[in-house]
Amino acid sequence: MNVVALSWYDPTRSSFFFYSKSDTGSQVPQPSDSPNDPLNVSWVRVGCPSTHQGTNFNRPFNIDAWVFSYRRKDFILLNVSLLSAIVGAYGPMLGPGFVEISEELDVSVNEISQATSYLVLAIGIALLFSNPLAKCYGKRPVYLVSGILLFASSIGGALTHDYGSFLACRLVGGLGMGPFEVLVQCTIGDMYFVHERASRIAFWNLFLVSGISAGPIVSAYIIQYSGYRWAFGVCAIFYGVLTLALFFLAPETSYIRVPNTSRSSTEASSIDQPDTKAVSGEDVAQPRSETIDDIEKEPQARNDQQQAHHQPLITERKDSYWRSLRVYTGRYSNASVVKVISRPFILFLYPGILWAFLTWGTTITFTIAFSYVNGVIFNEPPYNFTTSQIGLINISPLVLSVVSEIISGPLCDKICLYLTKRNNGYYEPEFRLVLMAVGFVLGVAGFYGFGATVHYKTHWTGPVITYGLVNASLAFCSTCVFGYIIDAYTALGEEAFVAVNSRNFLSFGILYVINEWLEEDGTLKVFVVLGSLFIFTSLLTIPIWIFGKRCRGRIDKIVWLKNYMRDS
């Protein structure tokens, strides 16, 4: 069953209501009447604008008609996803060559490892400012500045000859990486309806985790045969080309959406006050009694009424392609930047945000830890791998991540539609959490399995396969966590993702000491501890599944908190 959604979100009940109708997609949130609304587009052939009379496929290419066609929206997603892939590779790409780089720069392996940890810290600091700035001034300028920083840091890394300049380039690169790790989810929320988002999140995350996994495979050969500087040089080429593409082909997606003027006040009133009846001692909201046929007739009736009063259906003019190239398009929040910067810290009062921070933080941090220790573990007996062979270890996580991302996004959407049908047409963001069970099983097997196989010196296939299982777990968890945040905290998207990804400070603390910890306590103990922490945070999904909706309803009733989070 597919559904057509009614434009209603009730914060006290924290659920979307869907009317069962046909095989067309749902429309939550409801798009406005504006032709510049990223949601207000048609499935049209590129360059062939649709009209009320139909679509003319014989017309010549018109770039203005492409500005927010579905194809361009998907191209924007592809562009930022490709940048995210290079960003994903940029952090761990030097892992296979830690030993060689330390010898060339005449420092210890631990210092080279710590330089990457400082990069993670720089990402966390950048997020405190980049996402709030995107909330207030739009995402396009933040993306472009970040792309320029990444390009500059890669050029610097290709020219560095001492540890000081090497560290400085890693720090500058970290400042540019943040938006491509977390702001993309908000961009997806700008451009796509609820039922389309999980697949797009999985698509973006596929590129990100593929970059994390495939980056070391490619960079290992580059480092072994051309030196680590060329690893930076290749990144500079990609950053330069993709940032130019971002400027010319990716307009601003932030949009202040005015409620659809074609929606009658009577409809709004009846929606905002649904009838209830007692069932087993509980009040269960019931949909209004209006039939689907009535709903289908309403738009035409409203159109006729508007035309009778000589009121145009669309009063705002569509932006031209050249106008869409503006870097700054105005403010998108009335709140001060300082207030927006402080909000992520307040958001930890929201149980759902705290859960996402702990779950995503531990999963991604512990997964990244593999790239820090693999260069040391597999360079020593009994494996004695070369730099390029250490890079090839990442084939396992790459393959399993790709398969998991391909499965997790569409499967998550289908589960949500199925549970919505079972829930009498009401969609709950908690439906996104079902696949956490799959991520849990894969993660437990991966963390414990890796520690045991390395400790007992099994064949190299043992640790390599279990390493892949952890990355597969990451793919399922990311689809659940980010989908839940986008749906449950739509209005606080930028601040929520800053809060969740303040895990970079957690990552810095663990990754800074991971190699020393490994040397002191051994692989088995380290990964048993990491696996146990993963189990603890993953099991927190159970109370969120049971009480999440109730918690969001109660949080919404806290007046000072609600006012603090309001942009007006």
Dump the DSSP string for 229-254.
HHHHHHHHHHHHHHHHHHHHH-----
Q: Which two tokens stand for residue 59?
A: 């017309």
Spatial contact of 101 and 223, defined as CB atoms under 8 Å apart:
yes
Cβ atoms of 564 and 344 closer than 8 Å: no
CB burial readout 257-291, b (16+ within 10 A) else e: eeebeebeeebeebbeeeeeeeeeeeeeeebbeee
DSSP 278: E
Cβ neighbourhood burial of 547 (10 Å; 0-12, 13-18, 19+) = middle
- Three-state DSSP at 540 gives coil
Q: Classify the C-alpha dihedral 415-419-425-430 as positive or negative.
A: negative
Q: CB-hemisphere CA count at 13 Å for 372? A: 27
Sequence-ordered alpha helix ranges (H) in 91-162: 98-105, 109-137, 139-159
DSSP 8-state code for residue 434: T
The DSSP letter of residue 393 is T
Cβ–Cβ under 8 Å, residues 18 and 26: yes
DSSP conformation letters of 179-193 = HHHHHHHHHHHHHS-
pTM: 0.74
Distance, CA of 208 to CA of 178 (rounded, Å) = 12
C-alpha to C-alpha distance for 511 and 113, rounded to whole angstroms: 8
Residue located via tokens 């679509």: 55
DSSP readout, 469-507?
Answer: HHHHHHHHHHHHHHHHHHHHSGGGHHHHHHHHTTHHHHH
Strands (E), 221-321: 276-279, 282-285
Q: Cα angle vertex 469, ends 464, 472, to 5°?
A: 130
Alpha helix ranges (H) inside 258-350: 265-272, 292-308, 337-346
Element (DSSP H or E) covering residue 426: strand 426-427
Give the CA count within 13 Å in the CB-facing half-sphere of 347.
29
Q: What is the chain's pLDDT, residue by residue, as a tens digit (568 residues)? A: 344 333 333 433 444 444 344 444 456 777 777 777 787 754 434 444 444 444 444 445 455 554 556 677 888 999 999 999 999 999 989 988 988 999 999 999 889 989 989 999 999 999 888 878 888 899 999 999 999 999 999 999 999 989 999 999 999 999 999 888 778 888 988 888 877 887 888 788 889 888 888 899 999 999 999 999 999 999 999 999 999 999 998 899 888 876 555 544 433 333 344 443 333 334 433 433 333 344 334 444 444 444 444 444 446 777 888 888 899 988 888 888 888 888 888 999 999 999 999 999 999 999 989 988 998 899 889 999 998 999 999 999 999 988 998 898 889 989 999 999 999 988 899 999 999 999 999 999 999 999 999 999 999 999 999 999 999 999 899 889 988 998 888 777 778 888 888 899 999 999 899 989 999 999 999 999 999 999 999 999 999 999 999 998 898 888 888 888 877 6
Could you tell me the CATH superfamily of domain 71-256+335-565? MFS general substrate transporter like domains (1.20.1250.20)
E strands, 254-299, where?
276-279, 282-285
The amino acid at 272: D
Measure the CA–CA gap between 96 and 99, rounded to whole angstroms. 8
Measured CA to CA, the distance from residue 242 to residue 80 in angstroms comes to 8
Q: How far apart are CA 391 and CA 232, in angstroms?
A: 16
